[in-house]
Amino acid sequence: MFQVGNFDLYEVLAYLFMWVTLYFLLCLLNPGRSYEWHCRSVTVLHAAIISALAAYGALIMGPNPFTEAGGPNNSFQVRTVSICLGYFLFDFSWCLYFKTEGPVMLAHHFLSVVGLTVCLVAGRYGTEMIATIAGAEITNPLLQLRWFLRATGRHHSLMADVVDWAFMLSFGFVRLGLGSVLLYMYYQQNSDYIGRFGGTSIYLLSVVFFISIVNYAVRKYTKRYRAWVKRRAAPPPGEATPTTRQNGDLKEDVSSVGIIKEQEIPSPREIKTGLKELSLRKNCMVQKVNVS
Q: What is the pLDDT of residues 57-75, one digit of tens each?
A: 999 988 999 988 888 999 9
> pLDDT tens across 225-240, in order?
888 888 888 776 655 5
User: At residue 277, what are phi and psi to the nearest 5 degrees?
Assistant: -95, 135
Per-residue b or e along 70-101, where b marks 16 or more CB atoms closer than 10 Å to that residue's CB: beebbebbbbbbbbbbbbbbbbbebbeeeeeb
In the prediction, which pLDDT does 231 show?
83
Mean pLDDT value of segment 150-154: 89
Q: What mean pLDDT is reported for the chain?
A: 83
Indicate the DSSP class of residue 234: S
- Could you state, in order of their start, the residue ranges of all structural domains in the chain? 3-233, 244-287
Helix (H) or strand (E) run with residue 83 in it: helix 75-98
| Rounded distance between C-alpha atoms, residue 195 and residue 223, angstroms | 42
Q: In angstroms, what CA-CA distances link 254 with 244, 264, 283? A: 6, 20, 9
80, 50 in Cβ contact below 8 A? yes
Instruction: Give 102's pLDDT tier (boundaries 50, 70, 90).
Output: confident
Q: Is the pLDDT of residue 277 over 90?
A: no
Does the pLDDT at position 121 exceed 90? yes
CA distances for 193 relative to 187, 190, 198, 235, angstroms: 10, 10, 8, 65
Minimum mean pLDDT range among 94-103, 166-175, 265-274: 265-274
pLDDT band at 282 (very low <50, low <70, confident <90, very high): very low
Report the distance separating Cα 207 and Cα 212, nearest Å.
9
pLDDT of residue 233: 82
Q: Is 191 helix (H, G, I), strand (E, B) or coil?
A: coil
Asked if residue 287 has pLDDT above 90, the reply is no
Percent share of the chain, pLDDT over 90 = 51
pLDDT for 34 equals: 93
